[in-house]
């Protein structure tokens, strides 16, 4: 299955600032996904990022708040903009491993907004 490197692994940020999270995959993948996991909660899909097209956002998530880049088939970034304490969560990128491997996740970025 694909190996995903995600960074930073954690960060503490001031409210009103922005943080960009990077996700690097060791193989070319068509679809990359960004999830949010709020404290003690399950995973919620933020958006799907395909190379060469605009990301597709799920209900409740907007591009101005969570801009996504997908410059090539092995890399994507998620920016959390104008952060507030409510944005404190774990953010995870994921790829569709296919070949019966389901979805593979990065180790996540633990964000705390103060």
Partner 1 sequence: GQQLNQSPQSMFIQEGEDVSMNCTSSSIFNTWLWYKQDPGEGPVLLIALYKAGELTSNGRLTAQFGTTRKDSFLNISASIPSDVGIYFCAGQRGTGNQFYFGTGTSLTVIP
The piece of 14-22, 71-79, 80-88, 96-104 that touches partner 1 (CB under 8 A) is 96-104
DSSP assignment letter at 86: G
Q: How many residues bind partner 1 (CB under 8 A)?
A: 25
Of 11, 81, 88, 105, the residue at the interface with partner 1 (CB under 8 A) is: 105
- Nearest CB to partner 1, comparing residues 16 and 102: 102
Of 39, 59, 85, 86, the residue at the interface with partner 1 (CB under 8 A) is: 59
47 burial class (0-12, 13-18, 19+ CB within 10 angstroms)? buried
Which candidate, 69, 67, 76, places its Cα nearest to that of 94? Answer: 76
Q: Which two tokens stand for residue 90?
A: 């774990």
By CB under 8 A, is residue 48 in contact with partner 1?
Answer: yes
Is residue 50 a contact partner of residue 34, using CB atoms and an 8 Å limit? Answer: no
- What span, in angstroms and rounded, lies between the C-alpha atoms of 73 and 67? 17
Q: Which residues bind partner 1 (CB under 8 A)?
A: 1, 4, 6, 31, 33, 42-45, 48, 58-59, 92, 94, 97, 100-108, 110
């Amino acid at each position: 299955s694909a190996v995903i490197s995600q960074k930073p692994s954690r960060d503490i940020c001031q409210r009103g600032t922005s943080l960009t999270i990077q996700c690097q995959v060791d193989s070319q993948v068509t679809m990359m996904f960004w999830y949010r996991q709020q404290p003690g909660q399950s995973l919620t899909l933020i958006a799907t990022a395909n190379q060469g097209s605009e990301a597709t956002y799920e209900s409740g998530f907007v591009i101005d708040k969570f801009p996504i880049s997908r410059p090539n088939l092995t890399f994507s970034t998620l920016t959390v903009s104008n952060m507030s304490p409510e944005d404190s969560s774990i953010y995870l990128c994921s790829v569709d491993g296919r070949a019966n491997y389901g979805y593979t996740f990065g180790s996540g970025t633990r964000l705390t907004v103060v």
